[in-house]
Structure 1
Amino acid sequence: MKLKRGFNRTKKQKFFWLLFTLFIGAVVFIYSFNDVDFREFSGLFKQTNYFWLILALLLIIFYYFSMSWTLDILLGKDNKASAWGLIRIPFMEQFGNGITPFSFGGQPLQILGLNQAGIPVGQASSISLMKFVIYQGMIVVAFLICLIFGYQYVADHMLSMTGLVIFGLVIHILVLLALISIMFFPPVTKKIADLCLKPFPFFLAMIKSLQ
């Protein structure tokens, strides 16, 4: 009888979060289309080239499945998560990115999804960090390729933006180096963190109390 009550409670929780997610999606949808003329929108939709629309949909589906596949590769041979458990994680990540400022909630929801799929929180955090390093690395590679082949265009047509482009590339490289440092050089990272937090003794005391 206790098991049955617990099972019912779990189903109720899932139903609640499903309704909550649909409610948030409806609010975002209504807010986004608040100033849209639906007659004009329906007219433009009828003129849409459905080939490109279907292709875009297929690419989105491929993106989500590739994200799940990446997680499966990073988990390695000891992966105990089910296929459905991995497929739902990119959707949770995108939901977290969409409802939080600066897409701050993507990684926490990704870790939550991995934990719900049977992955310990520590391992889930490492997987999320490795995935973000791969993502950041690809951004830097794409940035360098675009800069090499398109710098002259930027310099000729957007002269005032040239410095901003270089600054953005430097920021991306520094973020990537910081993430690699966290992954492979924990002592160095700890010293840098202690140095940055030195003006804030309260946080240092709190961190040392947790160690």
Structure 2
Amino acid sequence: MTSRNKIVLILMLLFGLAITAFSLRDISFNSLIRDLATLKWGWLVAAVFSMLISYFLEAIVVKVLLRRETMDFPLQSALRIPLVEQLFNGITPFSSGGQPAQLFALVQAGVDAGQATSVLLMKFVVYQSMIVVNFIVALFIGFHFLASKMHALSLLFLFGFLIHFAVIIGLLLVMYWYSFTRKSVKLLFKLLRLFRNSSKIDRWEEILDEKINNFYQESLRLKRDGRLLMKIGIITLIQLMFYYIVPYFILLSLGEQHVSLLLVTTFHILIVMVISLFPIPGGSGGAEYSFSTIFSSFITNSSKLVLAMLLWRLLTYYLGILLGMIALVVRPKKIKQ
């Protein structure tokens, strides 16, 4: 981890403490202690295990994809990949550091850089596709509720969906209409040069061109291996489900028995989509606001609502950062070719 990343990590932890202090400003200390004392710890443990299973299933996806490359990739090394990803997603804007960090972790474990890039491209495509599928279902189930009660926030959900949907459309264009995509990109950069012609724009075009070519070559393999694609798609879908049900277990741990698993899961899917729009690492600030706003319909007690938000943030954000820091210092087992 670079010095800059360490500074950002410290700043994010301090920012998290500041948000926690702000959230607790109007909460009675005695009420908070009482809510903590009455927590149903079994459900909280279930929430922790749900997150750990989600990380484990992502590691299985990595292992399955590397097996396609005829590699016997150790499970210990595979488990490092999603954890390192969580760390760098959590300390970079728009989670932009996760992909390079995974590539570094794979190369560190002895995987060829080209093969590692190929694996991560396929993993990214499937992951984005499953997110969009989940979000479309969530929109049909819960959007009418949000639109009627939280109009401004519902617009953010739609905007988040459009961004992720545009990513999928772009990937599909590369896969099935390669020549048109290349021409469109070249036209875009020609238009940019009308306003500013610089070496930086040339460099951006070169990088994007390389990424498009790499993804196109990988897409040819994707289309030839439908069974593998379906397999990792199902695993990824199950992985996301374990992640999305975490708030349900948290609500149960707070004694909120009469809550709908379907609605809670649906709202969490929508919250995750909104978080991706905030440029601050981890969507800090926006994540807490979205959770508190949406789940206030389930929890009327302000003390329990804040505690639910803090527990959710601890498990879905800070746990990943902590485990990622541990994974970063663990020496990976080398692959067996």
Greater mean alpha carbon deviation, residues 159-168 or residues 74-83? 159-168
User: Aligned partners of 2:183, 2:40: CA distance in 1, in Å?
Assistant: 56
- Deviation at 1:204? 3.5
Partner of 2:290: none
Partner of 2:60: 69
Is the Cα contact below 8 Å between 1:194 and 1:204 reproduced in 2?
no
**Structure 1: segments with no counterpart, 5+ residues:** 1-16
Partner of 1:144: 136
TM-score, structure 2 normalization: 0.48
Partner of 1:7: none
Partner of 2:105: 113
Deviations 1:35-76 (A, max 9, x none): 637x94982533322112101110111011101001112223
Is the Cα contact below 8 Å between 1:92 and 1:113 reproduced in 2?
yes
Partner of 2:117: 125
Aligned pairs for 1:1-211 within 5 A: 28-34=12-18, 36=21, 40=29, 43=33, 44-77=35-68, 78-159=70-151, 165-183=157-175, 185-198=177-190, 199-200=192-193, 202=199, 203-204=201-202, 207=206
Match of 1:33, SS state, is helix
Count of aligned positions? 193
Greater mean alpha carbon deviation, residues 191-200 or residues 176-185? 176-185
- Deviation at 1:164? 5.0
Partner letter of residue 140 of structure 1?
V
Greater mean alpha carbon deviation, residues 102-111 or residues 182-191? 182-191
Is the Cα contact below 8 Å between 1:92 and 1:110 reproduced in 2?
yes
- Deviation at 1:96? 0.5
Residues 159 and 90 (structure 1), Cα distance of their counterparts in 2 relative to 1, 3 Å cut: closer
- Deviation at 1:167? 4.2
Residues 180 and 113 (structure 1), Cα distance of their counterparts in 2 relative to 1, 3 Å cut: farther
Partner letter of residue 119 of structure 1?
V
Give me the CA root mean square deviation.
Answer: 3.6
Is the Cα contact below 8 Å between 2:9 and 2:91 reproduced in 1?
no
Is the Cα contact below 8 Å between 1:71 and 1:131 reproduced in 2?
yes
**Structure 2: segments with no counterpart, 5+ residues:** 211-337
Instruction: Say which one has the larger Rg.
Output: 1
- Aligned sequence identity (%): 31
Greater mean alpha carbon deviation, residues 67-76 or residues 181-190? 181-190
Partner letter of residue 176 of structure 1?
I
User: Aligned partners of 2:115, 2:178: CA distance in 1, in Å?
Assistant: 16
